[in-house]
Amino acid sequence: VDYTHPPSVGAVFADVSGTYALERKSEAPGAGETDLLEANVSRLQLSASAGANYGHFTGTATLNYSAGYDLTGAGSQTHVDSFHPVNLALVYNFDGQSWSKDLTVSLNVDNVFDEKAQFINIAPSAFGASSNGFTLVRFVNAGLRKHF
């Protein structure tokens, strides 16, 4: 779902997207069918963003959500909690005629509140990851982009 509202100056926008896995099964010859969503995977992944454009600036806040899930094969650990980091982005688009034409600078901060994903007590290769989520620590990225 996407929504943009143009106020008198700039624009305000929001969107929500996600995936909920209903069924995922695997069958090996002679072994029968296995439900791959029964444990060890988050069924629900969501992303919600809101932001605004004002002049040459664009600011966006994004919440990513990964639902908790039951866990097997990790000793006494039987559940992984949900993980929901917030990311911020600020972009400035230059509107120049010479060197600043098509120039953009950006600043992104992923996992702004430094939320800690729950540790999963398994080897990373067992289920593909050793945590539930996206960027596991706060990450700051500055960018400069120029089209020629």
Span 49-87, pLDDT tens digits = 999 999 899 999 999 999 999 988 888 888 989 999 999
For residue 63, what are its two tokens?
Answer: 């919440």
Distances (CA, A) of 107 to 15, 31, 32, 47, 75: 21, 51, 50, 20, 41
- Which of 19, 73, 67, 79 lies closest to 42, judged by CA? 67
pLDDT band at residue 106 under the 50/70/90 scheme:
very high
Which of 9-13, 27-31, 41-45 has the largest mean confidence? 41-45
Q: Which phi and psi (to 5°) does residue 51 adopt?
A: -170, -175
* Average model confidence (pLDDT) across the chain: 86
d(CA 135, CA 46) in angstroms, rounded, equals: 15
d(CA 97, CA 148) in angstroms, rounded, equals: 12
- Mean pLDDT computed over 93-117: 88
Q: Is the pTM of this model over 0.95?
A: no
Better-scored residue on pLDDT, 27 or 61: 61
Report the pLDDT value the prediction gives residue 88, as an integer from 0 to 100. 98
Query: Taking a C-beta distance cutoff of 8 angstroms, is the pair 62, 31 a contact?
Result: no
